[in-house]
């Protein structure tokens, strides 16, 4: 078992030619949620037990972090806003970006973008992407 520090996980947007995975800037937290609906196939022959088939699969990715409008080296809140405004499907990667680790690649739409800042507090953002199509798993 190779337990690792969660700090290594990130959400990346694949951009450019040749393609490069660019980290979403100043993230402090990220998560990948994969879901599957079920189809009830219970019959009178099920002996009183529920029986299911696998159904529609879906997923989402969330990322939150600190706002830095001046960071031109990574994807930042202004890049995310542009994707939301233009209804752009993004190529995304959820990974540690460490050789030998797994990575999950997919396309997704930015469905939620929130920015907030309290008095004498750090300005933060949170973003949620809904996955469209398949999720591909590969070793880095």
CB 77 within 8 A of CB 115: yes
- Dump pLDDT digits (tens) for 11-44: 999 988 788 888 888 899 999 999 999 999 999 9
Q: Of 84, 134, 139, which Cα lies nearest the Cα of 111? A: 84
What digits encode the pLDDT tens for the residues 3-15? 777 888 899 999 8
Nearest to 13 by CA among 125, 116, 129, 115: 129
pTM greater than the 0.85 cutoff: yes
Bridge partners, residue 106, by sequence: 92
| Residue 74: band (very low, low, confident or very high) from pLDDT cuts 50, 70, 90 | low
At residue 1, does pLDDT exceed 80?
no
Q: Which stretches within the chain are classed as H helix?
A: 77-85
Using the 8-state DSSP alphabet, how is residue 24 labeled?
A: B
What residues have CB less than 8 Å from 75, skipping those under 6 apart?
13, 15, 22, 23, 24, 25
The domains found in the chain, sorted by start residue, are 7-38+52-139 (2.30.110.20)
β-pairing, 89-95 vs 10-15, is antiparallel
């Amino acid at each position: 078992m190779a337990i690792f520090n969660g700090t290594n996980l990130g959400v990346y947007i694949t951009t450019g030619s040749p393609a490069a995975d660019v980290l979403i800037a100043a993230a402090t937290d990220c998560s990948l949620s994969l879901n599957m609906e079920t189809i009830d196939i219970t019959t009178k022959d099920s002996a009183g037990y529920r029986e299911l088939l696998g159904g529609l699969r879906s997923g989402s990715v969330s990322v939150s972090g600190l706002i830095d409008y001046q960071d031109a080296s990574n994807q930042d809140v202004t890049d995310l806003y542009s994707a939301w405004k233009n209804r752009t499907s993004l190529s995304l990667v959820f990974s540690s970006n460490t050789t030998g680790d797994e990575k999950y690649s997919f396309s997704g739409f930015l469905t939620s973008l929130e920015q907030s800042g309290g008095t004498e507090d750090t300005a933060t953002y949170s973003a949620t992407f809904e996955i469209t199509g398949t999720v591909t798993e590969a070793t880095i």
